[in-house]
Every structure is written in C-alpha cells, then in structure tokens.
Amino acid sequence: MNTVNRVLIIGYVWPEPNSSAAGSRMMQLITAMRAQDWQVTFASPAQLSDHMADLSEHDVTCQAIELNNESFDQYITELNPDMVIFDRFMMEEQFGWRVEKYCPTAMRVLNTEDLHSLREARQKAVKKGGAFQLSETDQLAQYLHSDLVIREVAAIFRSDLTLMISPVEVELLVEHFKVPQQQLMYLPFMLTPLSDDHIATLPTFDDREHFITIGNFRHAPNWDVVLQLKQHIWPLIRKQLPKAEMHIYGAYPPPKATQLHNAKQGFYIKGWAEDAKAVMKQARLCLAPIRFGAGIKGKLSDAMECGTPSITTELGCEGMLQDQLWNGEIINSQEMINNPQVFADAAVKAYQNESAFIQYQQKGFAILAKQYDKTYWQEQFINRLIEQSETLASSRNNNFFGLMLRHHSMKSTQYMAQWIEAKNKKSEA
C-alpha cells in the first residue's frame, strides 16, 4: 500500500536547473514524485534567486522558512508530511531534530548531491600538490577523517534513507564508514532517452567550432577548472590552434572571473547560459580538467546528450564510466597537474579528428542509454520510497547507530539552535 502522499523538501538553496547539476537533479526528484500525484512542498531558508525554477509550474508549493526559529515547529506540525527530504546534510543538521520532535512518523530522507567531505578532502590534497586516491589507506586517514566527514556521515546514519548519486561514494560509505547498504540508494541522473530524431539533428563535426566548459562559478571545483584552463592549459592549446576559442559558461561569475575575459587570447567568459545544452551543441569539444570534486558531473552528461565529446580526468568521469566507455579521453589528474601539456595535446588531437569525434559520440550515447534511463530509475526511486515507508518502524529499530546519534548529537544541535533562537529574540526586544 502506498503510504506516501505528502512530501516536504527542505532545500539548502532553491533549485536552479539551468545553473547547476544539483538543480537539475532536484527537479528530477520532484518530477518523479509529482508523477505519482504526491503533494510536494519545497521549503528553504535561502534567499530567492534570479535563476530559480518556477515550481508552481510543477504544482509544487513553495515556503520560506527560517533557521533557528520555532516558527518551523508549528509549520511542520500543521503540514504533517509523510516524508521529509533534506537536500544536503546541513539541512538535516538544522531541521532534523525539529522534524523528529514534531513529526516523528515522517520518513526522513537525505539527498546528498555529492559527498561534501570527499570533495573537501580532494581539494586539500590538491593544495598540497597531489591528487587524493581513495585506494590509498593512509590518504583516507590524512585527508578524509575531518570534522566535515563526521558531520556528514552522522547525518547519513540518522536518516532513514540516503540518496547517493555516485556508485563510488556508495562503496566508500559501505566499505570504509560501515554504513549499512540498506540505508543507501544509488540513484544517478534520471534522463530522457535520446530519440533517433534528436541524434539525427545534432550539429555535425563541421558545423561545430571552439571549446566549451560550463559550471556554476560558486562551486569550487568549477572555479578551479577555469583557473587551470586560463593559467596552464588554454595557452598550450591556443599555440597549436590559434583560431580556436575557449568559451566559459556558468552562473554567478564574480569579478575575478570576468576579469579573465581576453578576446585576444580567445578566452571568453560568457557567464550564465539560459539554455546550457544549446551552447553545448555548438561546441566541438568540452574541456573539464577537474582536479578535485565528488558526485557525478552534469556538464559531462549534458555533453553526451549534445553529442559533444569531452576531455576530462579520472575524477571528472568518476561514477559515470560504463564498461570503460567514455565519450572522449581521460587524463590522469596527477599527470595533468605535473604536465598540463598532456591534457592540451589530447584536446588538440580530439578537436581535429572527425572519425574519433563520431566514435566518441556513439560511446556517449551508449553510456546514457545504459546508465541514466529516466523511466527505469524513476520506478526504482518511487518503489524504494514506498518500500522504505512501509518498513519504517522496523528499519529504525535495526539502525542502532542512527538511534544513538539522534539521541546524543542532535541534542547538542537542538540546544545550540534554541540558544541562538533565544539570543535573536532578546536582540529584537
């Protein structure tokens, strides 16, 4: 029996599907649940944004909420959802104890987008001049055992179910942090299969020109990609292809990014693209020299949909490889750090090779068909939510670590929130 009818999503930000893969992912979750005719409310303490989706078009109710404010207690009591989805672990920290106290029977689901702590660990390693490898036990202890990972994994244990977008991160949680497999669900992008008509109408090799990369400038790995291209890789490509241009797209470019724009060097900061796929289709090659990050990359699945080959690192394609297929070339990140010429040469070679371009396209189409079929994953997602809701009491009783963490760690979070709330009331008086 379907025990889910009312869903509350507590978002770290309002979804922006044209600005980030996280925004697209959230809209995929919403679409799947609305297809079941579930009532969905999206609430967030974040400010409204210029590029946020119009959720009313999806019959989703929007609600502004406040951090550290008892007004949320009354709100969720009246809403009385069957399920609460925390978008990112910080929202579980802030609101999880309130949900448990005032709506205890609601299933609590954590949507990670990616493992923030893994991304941070890799960034630390890069700052020290190297690449962080999950296979190296000493590196796990050196870079990954941080306050951030403790907070993030604790939120996963406290949740009834956690949605993971990368199989690599599922394996890390199960093998290294001993999270029970039944508390996790691998759920990648849910993408509409490409039709023959779509593929037939894609621009050809000769119809395309220039290089592209795209990504929200507020996301640290994306900004690092821009710097790698500007400072190390693009000058090497431009030297071999003097008429080529590098087009950088992304939401919220800060002044330090727009200042990198240089037409003489063929380096163009284009800013936000209203239709990311429209500009991706016009490019001959997507460049993603990713040195750190986590999750899976929306820019690279977009490139596959647009028939645009990509040159990236093993971190860029992590969790996305299918039978070792890739729609381009993969460069070892440590090798790229030591010698950017390797990445540049691969990009130049791919840019000039029409037969390789066609082969790369076909590999990308194969990855999409095998790994990201919307119909299949929507069904898996909905079935898992229903199954989890029907066994909620027993699964909670079997999750001793979750019980322990909710009893102890959430108390400190609760008391801190109540202290801030009391302080705010005093300052307003």
Whole-number Å distance between alpha carbons of 40 and 35? 11
- In 95-151, the DSSP E strands lie at 107-111
The dihedral of CA 376, 378, 380, 382: what is its sign? negative
Q: Is the pLDDT of residue 323 over 90?
A: no
Whole-number Å distance between alpha carbons of 415 and 427? 18
pTM: 0.91
Domains of the chain: 6-190+374-423 (3.40.50.2000), 196-371 (3.40.50.2000)
Each residue of 359-401: pLDDT tens digit? 999 999 999 999 999 999 999 999 999 999 999 988 888 888 8
Q: Are 131 and 334 in contact (CB under 8 A)?
A: yes
Q: Once rounded to an integer, what is the mean pLDDT over residues 250-279? A: 95
Q: What is the pLDDT of residue 2?
A: 45
Q: Is the pLDDT of residue 157 over 50?
A: yes
Q: Which of 24-33, 123-132, 247-256 shows the lowest per-residue confidence on average (mean pLDDT)? A: 123-132
Q: Is the pLDDT of residue 14 over 90?
A: yes
Q: Once rounded to an integer, what is the mean pLDDT over residues 84-97? A: 96
Using alpha carbons, select from 95, 241, 142, 39 the residue that is nearest to residue 233: 241
Q: What is the pLDDT of residue 413?
A: 65
**Which helix (H) or strand (E) segment is 333 a member of?**
helix 333-338
- Give me the phi and psi of 233, to 5 degrees please: -95, -45
Q: Which of 120-134, 194-208, 243-257 shows the lowest per-residue confidence on average (mean pLDDT)? A: 120-134
Ordered DSSP codes for 54-93 = -GGGGT-EEEE--TT-THHHHHHHHH--SEEEEESHHHHH
Residues whose CB falls within 8 Å of the CB of residue 292, separated by 6 or more in sequence, listed in order:
119, 122, 123, 125, 126, 132, 220, 221, 224, 315
Residues whose CB falls within 8 Å of the CB of residue 320, separated by 6 or more in sequence, listed in order:
296, 297, 300, 301, 367, 371
Q: How confident is the model at residue 50 (pLDDT cuts 50, 70, 90)?
A: confident
**Which helix (H) or strand (E) segment is 368 a member of?**
helix 354-371
Q: How confident is the model at residue 128 (pLDDT cuts 50, 70, 90)?
A: confident
Q: Is the pLDDT of residue 1 over 50?
A: no
Each residue of 183-220: pLDDT tens digit? 999 999 999 999 999 999 999 999 999 999 999 999 99
Q: Once rounded to an integer, what is the mean pLDDT over residues 35-48? A: 96
Q: Once rounded to an integer, what is the mean pLDDT over residues 55-82? A: 95
Whole-number Å distance between alpha carbons of 23 and 53? 9
Q: How confident is the model at residue 415 (pLDDT cuts 50, 70, 90)?
A: low
What angle is formed at CA 92 by the lines to CA 31 and CA 216, rounded to 5 degrees?
60
% of the chain at pLDDT higher than 70: 95
